[in-house]
């Protein structure tokens, strides 16, 4: 008998699938993952599409772990795609897998491990009903928290089930199975493993290695067929908990994840994950230099000594910042009636709420304040992008305009056309926007954003000044120290 999808619905019909019936009894989940991975490698198919920057580091180690049939753990700071990566392991499973219909632990019809299925097969034989598991149903995930119990993870005696069935309470049929047995013949993932209480970790490794566990004093034999994967933050070993040594010993591979190493990798991830392509009544155009500045912000924060490196700077930071930057540009364009919303550097400053909450500061940073640190990081990021584009470019005419007494305050509520008229008054400024790939026919919003980026770049390098009251002005000239001033470099050599 077959289902409407052409799949067998009884054990007898399943036996006619010779290849499947031959390999089901002896092939474990780890064998299945290994075989499917080998097939994908031979066909040169992508293994984990959407995972960027791990091709030469993390992915080869994950491949080695699967080929070795290891349970493994991903260690890394927050926002390093650990959970996303382990969820994609399910794509290496078979599309469909048969099990004894109605079984809580998805028993193999050719090698059942639970008493209920063994009894059913003995009674019904080839008429035993068969159901099918999809890839998604074979992946089970649990976030570890201190309040997780053995009953949650493995199971507990159910006295109500015993009473209804008239069974002895010590009978295996009275067990209510937890998450781990219900993940049988699949992948079981635990996030933030160190948060799991030590006694739960003990029960976990016992069922991993020996396949048995004691529930309320009654020994239950459960030789589960599982691939176990874990994630953990290295900081958690000291901050909240730890992984007990016997469990670490039973984890085959420990794989370290990392943040994007190259800026273009980070930009690819941010563009892929952010809600930047959104429905709107106006066109949204995000300049490449703004995307780069937002990504550089995260890179600069990871290197800054005022930011706690043990906590890390999540890749969620540039994703959230870019979304906020676009939203501020969208709000401005709708308010002033522009047909195109183009993010500017001022919009990155407006996105401070999406930055400060994601930075864990050291003592020095706490003294300065989250807003001040975030503003300095934005200035630094814009400066680095500006240097890459305009390094060696002569911008002295723009600087000179300010040194001769010019000042410019850009009004966010003014239409872009008025801003362009103001910016055109600065000698040579709009001509320099050509290096940003702008043509003469670009909308005013695009030209205004590019010109403002140049001014912010000059400000970041302290060639001009800016404050909230009067906007961009000349950088105040510093008084040269007197020759006998101890602060001067010359006198400092001889000053005792």
Q: What is the mean pLDDT of residues 117-122?
A: 90
**Which of 79-83, 362-366, 469-473 shows the highest mean pLDDT?**
79-83
- Which H helix or E strand runs over 61? helix 58-67
Determine the pLDDT at residue 113. 85
**468 versus 122: which is more confidently predicted?**
122
The DSSP symbol for 158 reads: -
Kindly list the distances between the CA atom of residue 185 and the CA atoms of 10, 135, 310, 312, 335, in Å, as whole numbers in the listed order: 19, 11, 37, 36, 57
Judge whether residue 307 has pLDDT over 80.
yes
Percent of the chain with pLDDT over 90: 61
In this predicted model, what pLDDT tens digit does every residue of 428-443 receive, in sequence order? 999 999 999 887 788 9
Taking residues 25-52, report their average pLDDT.
92
Percent of the chain's residues with pLDDT above 70:
86
What is the spatial distance between Cα 77 and Cα 157, in angstroms, rounded to a whole number?
Answer: 38
200-204, 211-215, 329-333, 409-413: range with lowest mean pLDDT: 211-215
> Each residue of 190-220: pLDDT tens digit?
999 998 888 888 878 777 776 666 666 666 6
pTM: 0.86
Of 118 and 20, more confident: 118
Stronger pLDDT, 69 or 413, i.e. the higher one: 69
pLDDT at 3 over 60: no
Q: Determine whether domain 59-68+71-82+144-254 maps to CATH 3.30.70.3270.
A: no
Q: What is the pLDDT of residue 201?
A: 87
C-alpha distance from residue 283 to each of 180, 287, 439 (Å): 50, 13, 18
How far apart are the C-alpha atoms of 29 and 224, rounded to whole Å?
10
pLDDT band at residue 486 under the 50/70/90 scheme: very low
490 pLDDT above the threshold of 50: no
Place 399 in a pLDDT band, splitting at 50, 70 and 90.
Answer: very high
Q: Answer whether 359's CB lies under 8 Å from 351's CB.
A: no
What is the average pLDDT across 386-395? 94
Q: Structural domain boundaries of the chain?
A: 59-68+71-82+144-254, 263-474
Q: How confident is the model at residue 159 (pLDDT cuts 50, 70, 90)?
A: low
If one compares 490 and 323, the residue with the highest pLDDT of the two is 323
Reported as a single tens digit per residue, the pLDDT across 263-283 is 999 999 999 999 999 999 999
């Amino acid at each position: 008998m077959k289902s409407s999808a052409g799949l067998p619905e009884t054990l007898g019909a399943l036996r006619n699938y010779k290849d499947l019936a031959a390999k089901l009894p002896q092939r474990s989940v780890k064998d299945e993952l290994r075989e499917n991975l080998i097939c994908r490698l031979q066909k040169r198919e992508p293994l984990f599409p959407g995972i960027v920057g791990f091709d030469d580091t993390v992915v080869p180690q994950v491949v080695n772990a699967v080929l070795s049939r290891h349970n493994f753990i991903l260690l890394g700071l927050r926002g390093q795609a650990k959970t996303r990566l382990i969820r994609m392991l399910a794509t290496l499973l078979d599309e469909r897998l048969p099990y004894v219909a109605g079984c809580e632990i998805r028993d193999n019809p050719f090698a059942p491990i639970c008493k209920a299925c063994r009894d059913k097969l003995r009674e019904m034989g080839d008429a035993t009903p068969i159901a099918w598991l999809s890839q998604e149903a074979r992946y089970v995930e649990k976030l570890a928290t201190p309040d997780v119990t053995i009953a949650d993870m493995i199971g507990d005696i159910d006295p109500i089930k015993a009473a209804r069935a008239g069974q002895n309470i010590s009978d295996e049929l009275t067990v209510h199975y937890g998450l781990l047995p219900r993940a049988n013949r699949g992948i079981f993932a635990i996030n933030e493993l160190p948060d799991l209480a030590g006694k739960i970790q003990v029960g976990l490794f016992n069922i991993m290695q020996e396949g048995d566990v004691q529930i309320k004093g009654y020994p239950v034999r459960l030789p589960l067929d599982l691939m176990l994967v874990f994630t953990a933050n290295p900081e958690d070993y000291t901050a909240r908990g730890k992984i007990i040594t016997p469990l670490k010993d039973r984890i085959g591979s420990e794989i370290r994840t990392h943040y994007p190493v190259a800026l273009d990798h980070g930009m690819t991830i941010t563009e892929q994950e952010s809600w930047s392509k959104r429905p709107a009544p106006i066109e949204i155009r995000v300049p490449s230099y703004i995307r780069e500045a937002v990504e550089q912000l995260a890179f600069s924060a990871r290197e800054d000594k005022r930011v706690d490196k043990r906590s890390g700077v999540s890749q969620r930071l540039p994703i959230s910042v870019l979304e906020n930057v676009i939203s501020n540009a969208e709000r401005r364009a709708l308010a002033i009636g522009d047909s195109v919303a183009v993010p500017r550097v001022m919009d990155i400053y407006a996105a401070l709420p999406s930055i400060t909450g994601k930075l864990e500061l050291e003592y020095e940073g706490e003294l300065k304040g989250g807003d001040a640190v975030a503003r300095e990081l934005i200035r630094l990021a814009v400066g680095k992008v500006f240097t890459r584009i305009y390094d060696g470019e002569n911008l002295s005419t723009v600087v000179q305009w300010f040194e001769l007494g010019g000042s410019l305050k850009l009004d966010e509520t003014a239409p872009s056309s008025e801003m362009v008229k103001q910016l055109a008054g600065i000698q040579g400024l709009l001509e320099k926007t050509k290096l940003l790939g702008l043509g003469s026919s670009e909308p005013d919003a695009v030209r205004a954003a590019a010109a403002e980026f140049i001014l912010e770049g000059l400000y970041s390098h302290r060639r001009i000044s800016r404050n909230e009251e009067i906007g961009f002005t000349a950088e105040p000239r510093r008084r040269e120290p007197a020759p006998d001033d101890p602060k001067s470099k010359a006198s400092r050599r001889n000053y005792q």
